[in-house]
Amino acid sequence: MVAWATARQPHSRLGLTVSRKVGGAVVRNRVKRLLREWFRLHHHELTDDWDLVIIARRPPPGLDLKEVEEQLGQFVAWINRRSARAERSSEHDPAGKARQGDEQ
């Protein structure tokens, strides 16, 4: 599971939560190492600055960086599309007025 918010810093940040339900200390540390390595290699692909919090669930046996890249790569593509849509919406309404269909 991934939670995100617009970063208050001028760069993206990563937070990790890996509970004991994931496994023993060795397994938890491996999951954290894989997630940190993914972020190190791919944080530049985020089009905006985000604070990401990844809550790890029980990993499949033999989890490797390639699997992490596949799953989180889909998330990065999704959040970039969402961010681009938000930018296009704000360009059409620079005054911040409510658009038709928006709740107030």
CATH number, domain of 66, equals 3.30.230.10
92: in domain: no
pLDDT at 85: 74
Beta strands 13-17 and 50-55 are parallel
pLDDT tens-digit map of 51-72: 999 999 888 888 899 999 999 9
Split into its structural domains, the chain has a count of: 1
Classify residue 64 by its DSSP letter. Answer: -
pLDDT tens-digit map of 3-51: 999 888 899 999 999 999 999 999 999 999 999 999 999 999 999 999 9
Residue 94 pLDDT class (50, 70, 90 cuts) = low
Do residues 2 and 54 lie in contact, with contact meaning Cβ atoms separated by under 8 Å?
yes
Domain that holds residue 28: 2-86
94: in domain: no
> pTM to 2 decimals?
0.77
55: in domain: yes
Q: Bridge-partner residues for 49, per DSSP? A: none
91: in domain: no
Q: Is the pLDDT of residue 96 over 60?
A: no
pLDDT at 33: 96
